[in-house]
Amino acid sequence: MTQPKVLLAGPPADAHTWNLIYLELLLQENGFCVTNLGPNVTHALLFETLTRTPQDLVVVSCLNGSVKQEGLALMEARSARTRGGEIFVIGGALQEQEDISGTQRALIQAGFLDAFLNESDPSRFVRFLSSFKESRRGILTS
């Protein structure tokens, strides 16, 4: 079976790097082929990369407390594209007083398949990866 391809990126206003390295290793350990664009990725670069090398999954990680704003802006930019069928998920930190379930709902309504917010334990994300691979099994076989 071909490994599912994942594009990993930090949004434009987030310069955190260690989370992306951790996620890259976690994704690889769970059987994914990862392209890590790093932090501060512009929407233009992300979508240019997807046009050149289609991916099965896009993982966005934002630790600067603006995951909702960054995620909504990305989904707005995505809606302006004429093509694309990539599945997007997002994770990161919220501001202290922010409503986790409300933010999660807003991000999913905007177009993310799931939002992993303020989670220090990666087990829910790992379960998601496993079910994602399972759901794509017939598509990814070559």
pLDDT in tens, 82-121: 666 789 999 998 877 778 899 999 999 999 999 999 888 9
pLDDT given at position 9: 98
User: How much is the pTM?
Assistant: 0.92
pLDDT tens digits, one per residue of 112-138: 999 999 888 999 999 999 999 998 876
Measure the CA–CA gap between 60 and 107, rounded to whole angstroms. Answer: 12
Question: How many alpha carbons lie under 13 Å from residue 95 in its C-beta half-sphere?
Answer: 6
Distances (CA, A) of 133 to 14, 79, 117: 28, 25, 22
E strands in the chain: 5-9, 33-36, 57-62, 87-92, 114-117
Considering only CA atoms, which of 128, 56, 61, 72 is closest in space to residue 105? 72
**What residue ranges define each of the domains in the chain, with the CATH number in brackets?**
7-118 (3.40.50.280)
pLDDT digits (tens, 9 = 90+) for 26-68: 999 999 999 999 999 999 999 999 999 999 999 999 998 889 9
